[in-house]
Structure 1
């Protein structure tokens, strides 16, 4: 009896250990198997783009396309379609399709009904009035003439608007004063936050964490060509500076494939233009993102400033 009980406990233990091992394997797979992404986009008179994300080969796959027909997307897991944007009449249930009447027949039926109504119905009220002779007595009022009551109403309405102008000016002045006071308080608060040593340490911490995350998510393969110009040379210069920073970010995250990658930005200071061809390919590890999010959440200054917890 005891021997049978030990065998049963042994079998139960093996089953529990197997389930626990499968759960640990699944968690490790989710955390450390990267999600791969690919972006193809171009801007020439209009925007066209395609996004493809896959996890663990083709087990989970997201496709999104934007073109002249609008946005279309579909998410598949294994052989099942979980989310899709193509939800029209053809995707209804078999019961709905069976009881749905064809549009062509309904239109034809409505057309016959309308013809029957036109035949059976008598002359309309405008036709009767048109057929009646016009009254000969009296004279028609002139088109441009206005009644005295209308003129008096216009004068009173204009007078009311003129009397409301001083009250409107006072209200605008009061709102401007309130806005100035609130803006002053916010600027003082911002100045205190900037000069606080704890906040400076928090800014350095966030810069380090987000910089590492951006480097991790940077594409390992890319081919980007941008041609930009604005009406104002000042705006073009600012965008050019931002493009230089972006180029440094891409190069920092893609040092292993630097020979295959290219980032070309052409500023145009004499015309307003924006054209682009973008290809990016990379991967994101969910565990790395969760670790960064956990570090930021556990930061005391983040909890005080953002989450409002002491």
Structure 2
């Protein structure tokens, strides 16, 4: 009996260890296996966009395609489709068609009724529809009077409320000024901005290939745009060409890019930002 109990405990222990090991393996995979993305954008009068986001050799995969219409397809386990906006649109159209058919089949209601009232000398015919219209007009006049009275009351209450709002805005401006000018806050904020910059560099595409051909009616505008794009030269370098057309009005784009994001690095930066947020001192009251 004791031997059976010990063997059962061993089996339970092994099962628990396997479950814990699998959970740790999944967590490590999520943290260290990068989320990869790649895309292709082509534009010449009509946009043609294709974006793919995947994880673990496309075990999780999302395709976003835009050509005349937007198509989003999500897959899990390489073959199983879990989401498609085409299917959702088809369901919505079927529901609308069903509702329209039900409305058409319903009988027409709300016919006008006429009542006849008899007096001693005359017979009076009364249209109930006209009665209802008169009642509606009376109700509308009553509602207008009520609105006017409410507006008067709100105008009287607005004066102190507006003053309190102005005071709140002034207090917020003082808080922001203290936050940005206090020396210790400056150091913390600069460090946080540096971490955000590194995260942005980590997320941005590592490889950009293609060209961007552009030109405007005014050659000076083309030169200004070229000057602005020159700031981003370290990102695209020699693989991506910018072709200014000073005497033609044209916009043509053909871009292919790849990049990745490690969840571990994003979580690390988020943790540092959260810890340093507590170090920021607010204005003493």
TM exceeds 0.5? yes
- CA 1:82/1:14 → structure 2, altered by over 3 Å: closer, same or farther? same
Q: Is the 1:199–1:301 Cα contact (8 Å) retained in structure 2?
A: no
1:282 is aligned, of 224, 239, 259, to: 259
CA distance in 2, matches of 1:85, 1:262: 35
User: Which one is further off, 230-239 or 201-210?
Assistant: 230-239
CA gap 1:195/1:273 in 2 versus in 1, 3 angstroms: farther
* Contact 1:247 1:263 (C-alpha < 8 Å) held by counterparts: no
Q: Relative to 1, partners in 2 of residues 1:37 and 1:235: Cα closer, same or farther, differing over 3 Å?
A: same
Q: How many residues align?
A: 218
Describe the shift of the 1:19–1:186 C-alpha distance in structure 2 as closer, same or farther (beyond 3 A).
closer
Distance 2:19 2:81 in 1: 28
Tell me the residue number matched to 1:34.
34
CA distance 1:14–1:52, change in 2 (3 Å): same
Q: Do the aligned partners of residues 205 and 240 (structure 1) sit closer, same or farther apart at CA in structure 2, a change above 3 Å counting?
A: farther
Instruction: Classify 1:243/1:182 alpha carbon distance in 2 versus 1 (closer, same or farther; 3 Å).
Output: farther
Two-structure CA RMSD over aligned residues (Å):
3.9
> Which of 241, 266, 269 in structure 1 is aligned with 2:243?
266
Indicate conservation of the 8 Å contact 2:179/2:281, yes or no: no
Larger deviation: 3-12 or 57-66? Answer: 3-12
Structure 1 distance, partners of 2:168, 2:226, is 35
- Higher alpha-carbon deviation: 217-226 or 266-275: 266-275
Q: Per-residue displacement from partner, 1:46-71 (whole Å, max 9, x unpaired)?
A: 32200011111121111010112x11
Which secondary structure state, in structure 2, belongs to the residue aligned with residue 57 of structure 1?
coil
Give the TM-score normalised by the residue count of structure 1. Answer: 0.58
1:34-73 aligned within 5 A? 34-68=34-68, 70-73=69-72
Q: CA deviation at 1:221?
A: 2.6
User: Aligned runs of 1:15-30 on 2, under 5 Å?
Assistant: 15-30=15-30
Contact preservation (8 Å) 2:192, 2:276: no
SS of residue in 1 equivalent to 2:63: strand
Q: Distance between the aligned counterparts of 1:39 and 1:49, measured in 2?
A: 8
Distance in structure 1 (CA, Å) of the matches to 2:174 and 2:249: 40
Structure 1, residues 210-264: CA drift from partner, whole Å, max 9, x if none? Answer: 222122223233203123345677765554344233221355xxxxxxxxx6122
CA, structure 1 residues 296+12, in 2 after alignment: closer, same or farther (shift >3 Å)?
A: same
Are the aligned partners of 1:219 and 1:250 in contact in 2 as well (CA < 8 Å)?
Answer: no
CA offset digits 1:191-216 (Å, max 9, x no partner): 55443323422332133212221222
Q: Is the 8 A contact 1:236 1:267 kept in 2?
A: yes
Equivalent position of 2:190 in the other structure: 204
Residues 68-125 of structure 1 show CA distances to partners (whole Å, capped at 9, x for unaligned) of 2x11110011132111110268669xxx89xx89x9xx9xxx9xxxxxxxxxxxxxxx
Q: Which runs of 5+ in 1 are unaligned?
A: 111-174, 252-260
Other-structure match for 1:2: 2
Deviation at 1:270, TM superposition (A): 5.4
Question: 2:74 maps to which residue?
Answer: 75
